Structure 1
């Protein structure tokens, strides 16, 4: 008999209790216990009461209860039940069905220390070779930012399935190891393992992060050849990949080819257009989405507000922001408030931005205050920057994030307060914090090359620096002078010019000029915001060498074409 409601389950329970045979009772309790524990119409408290009432302990009941708890908003109870199993002599011993759901609980709770202890118990129980247990370990370590440990588990596996490979690829992507994720996918295909929908979504995320559009196109070929790209989330991942790799035309082609577009596909396309500075197209697409009867969600509104921010559209941005709740019933989140603060601050409305933050109905985070402080520095209001730093106590708000220390140090450097900047650096050293080094990636012939600032380790470093010398001579002929104020270090001007010359995107562009033909595009992905000097240089290079250069920095895309940039020097 199929159980459809809790009251029906309770009636059946009452009948079962009348049976004098305990074994028969346990056998008959199984379907109603499963319903109570796992069905949306069930009740976990009632299921736990059934578990406690059993005269004979049963591993199936314990494992089902742990599984149920692992799926709740707070899976801590799964771990508590497991501990009670270990402490009570009459409880069944954990088996290969117990650990995957415990590891899932650790993954959701971001508890790698507990997961590591479970790993020890798994090893002692001789269950490490079980594929499902190993997959659970990979997922747990990856979800907790321990992709190195996950890869050790993966490396020891003899029986890997598509879940093993996909979990490991996903773990690398989440841990900012996109190139390793791509290499692992290539190894997976070589080993003859058939990728599934989840696999291609993960590797497309890796391609997007790395700017590896060539690899992304090959993944699209795999999708179409094996007919695994029919699901909406795969098409959305393709749109996102092409947009983030600088190929907005390819993204639009995928988008236009989707017959039944959901809100996620529309949002990915609107976001891509906004990030490329095609803000009018982004807003037009938003209006089209509405005309098809689709309601935007939180991410859609973030995308359209980003378009207004990137274009500097003050009144339009506030019109969309104010419509969120009254028109769509969407309560603004910190991301939406962040877009508005950034819009106000970038357009020089510093008083309005500060007042907007102070009147927010939700607690502003450190990122909002850093946005205003940075904008104050850019607009020359150093007094405001310093006062906000003192008033807000940024280092107390976010003491383990190097971003606040770096920002404060830069503000002090802009004001010529080198002693105060040195204090920031000393505080960072004491806390073991370091600013992430600037690095840029460029894909040539399907291979991604990565450059750090001042990098001399590339196999073609000699040719790259020779090309830089040539570029510098041609820049001087165009009247270029390095913007030395961008180097916030207490060093002489000659050393400042040397530092600017060796920024990572300049090295990547020099390599691109060597490896590509005139008239072709050079695509670069940078992990930090581009400085004004690099921005000026890349505009000139696009004019001198007649090559379009597309750069994705931490803020947005820049399309450098014949001496101009798509951002119109506003970013």
Structure 2
């Protein structure tokens, strides 16, 4: 796990003492200095110091304590090359078979920080003795690598082996539950934390708050927040994010104001949370007020804050203002900002602007374009009816082997997470699910519903487009939920991408036809459907 931060001045003081001992450097002092640097705000200095010491003929021989600090430093600095070279050096030494779990746990932490799950688990599988830190490090690697299901599997295996979790383990496992929308597992971990006496630990309490918010239980998140005896900036920020993601922007802004008034200093993520709340409601004036007052809090805007403002303006249809905002930024814009504006231009029917920006923006000309830029480019051409240009974009993706992130939706039933992709036929209940959706579609048709075929950016007949829309992943998850959920039980779906307009309209109608509350958490925010209406007010 990531070490606690120490002051850089302390590390520099140790460094000066180390220099005085040269050329016969003291091994204990060298390791102490490396450890201090690895925990400081400049972990890269540990790596540079080791390189300097290692090149000296009288340098102390690296031991397990040396590698532990260096792997931590490489992980905190995201130094992939340095970490791999250190791993190779450890293998060449005679230390690897007898290395302490602590140094190998730091190696797992390094790979976890670089989002490399496979090598992290390889190191974990090779451990002769696994302690709670080993298991927690492997759980963290899984979460960081966007494999929360694997993290919960590891957590269950750890419990099965009789190793009790600590507060750090609970935090990581709750992160996995939050990502998955695994409410039942989250509640189980809450019970374990309460039984072991660390549920009130500030980090655990904040993780619980975040888990409940992301699993659709915003009221429970608020209860957790209200019961916390001490609230640091992380707890305030998690609560503001939770309210903002549920569309409760007024409460989020009021909480932010209360936070500032009682003297809790916001950080970068807090401002991002507040701006996200403004974005979800199209509150441009409030967004500008927060953005313009950052300097009063001793803060300067960062790229994520510029991104929120561009998104806020673009979604509100103020495209000229959003473009001017990007061009006047004092920092270099990234591809995300331009994609945001191009997407909004397509959304508001300004395809001329979208095509112009794609021609002008370097990110859409580079050979190393990511899949997001390709998909957006193809969709812009599709919305303009330029099917040959869209086909050419698709051919380029195939030629460069650029994969498109598939849309998937998850739903928890009886404590088990079920995942669906568009057109999924691999689920054990696939036949029943498609039959159920046929029933749903017929009831919707009787109510006067017609698919929004413009959401399908493909050159095909409307009937084929309607068929594609019927097989979107959240609709399959919804059908499965209606089959398996108890009468009156709220259905909660988590989607990895933004919901399309057709699925959004369908969810509203289904909530009325079946008299069922439905919650969908997409990439942008929560949508709570009830009696034919959505909490977002059709703005997202």
TM tier, smaller:
over 0.9
Q: Deviations over 1:38-62 (max 9, x none)?
A: 97275355234224232xx553344
Q: Report the alpha carbon displacement of residue 458 of structure 1 after superposing the two structures with TM.
A: 1.0
Q: Is 1:70 the counterpart of 2:34 in the alignment? A: no
Q: Secondary structure at the match of 2:64?
A: coil
Q: Report the alpha carbon displacement of residue 279 of structure 1 after superposing the two structures with TM.
A: 1.5
2:477 to 499, 504, 508: 508
Q: Report the alpha carbon displacement of residue 83 of structure 1 after superposing the two structures with TM.
A: 5.0
Residue aligning to 1:535: 504
Residue aligning to 1:436: 405
Q: Secondary structure at the match of 2:231?
A: coil
Q: Is 1:102 the counterpart of 2:70 in the alignment? A: yes
Q: Give me the TM-score of the superposition, normalised by structure 2.
A: 0.93
Residue aligning to 2:285: 315
Q: Is 1:490 the counterpart of 2:446 in the alignment? A: no
Residue aligning to 1:381: 350
Residue aligning to 2:161: 191
Instruction: Give yes or no for contact 2:359–2:365 (8 Å, CA) kept in 1.
Output: no
Please show how residues 8-407 of structure 1 align to structure 2 within 5 Å.
40=10, 42-43=12-13, 46-54=16-24, 58-76=26-44, 78-80=46-48, 82-83=50-51, 90-124=58-92, 125-130=94-99, 131-325=101-295, 327-396=296-365, 399-407=368-376
Q: Deviations over 1:48-90 (max 9, x none)?
A: 4224232xx5533443343344345554554455456666564
Q: Secondary structure at the match of 1:523?
A: strand
What are structure 1's unaligned runs of at least 5 residues?
1-36
Instruction: Give yes or no for contact 2:363–2:369 (8 Å, CA) kept in 1.
Output: no
Q: Secondary structure at the match of 2:409?
A: strand
Instruction: Give yes or no for contact 1:47–1:65 (8 Å, CA) kept in 2.
Output: no
Residues 281 and 81 of structure 1: CA distance in aligned 2, closer, same or farther (over 3 Å): closer
Residue aligning to 2:4: none
Residues 397 and 213 of structure 1: CA distance in aligned 2, closer, same or farther (over 3 Å): farther
Q: Report the alpha carbon displacement of residue 568 of structure 1 after superposing the two structures with TM.
A: 0.8
Instruction: Give yes or no for contact 1:51–1:62 (8 Å, CA) kept in 2.
Output: no
C-alpha separation between the residues in 1 aligned to 2:109 and 2:8?
22
Q: Deviations over 1:357-404 (max 9, x none)?
A: 222222222211111111110110000111111122222479342111
Residues 378 and 248 of structure 1: CA distance in aligned 2, closer, same or farther (over 3 Å): same
C-alpha separation between the residues in 1 aligned to 2:26 and 2:255?
57
Q: Kindly name which structure, 1 or 2, has the bigger radius of gyration based on alpha carbons.
A: 1
Q: Secondary structure at the match of 1:457?
A: coil
Q: Deviations over 1:108-140 (max 9, x none)?
A: 343444433433443342424431232122112
Q: Report the alpha carbon displacement of residue 263 of structure 1 after superposing the two structures with TM.
A: 2.7
Residues 107 and 263 of structure 1: CA distance in aligned 2, closer, same or farther (over 3 Å): closer
Residues 143 and 295 of structure 1: CA distance in aligned 2, closer, same or farther (over 3 Å): closer
C-alpha separation between the residues in 1 aligned to 2:334 and 2:135?
37
Of 221-230 and 69-78, deviating more is 69-78
Residue aligning to 1:17: none
Instruction: Give yes or no for contact 2:8–2:40 (8 Å, CA) kept in 1.
Output: no
Residues 409 and 544 of structure 1: CA distance in aligned 2, closer, same or farther (over 3 Å): same
C-alpha separation between the residues in 1 aligned to 2:370 and 2:396?
12
Instruction: Give yes or no for contact 2:18–2:26 (8 Å, CA) kept in 1.
Output: no
C-alpha separation between the residues in 1 aligned to 2:33 and 2:230?
40
Of 340-349 and 535-544, deviating more is 340-349
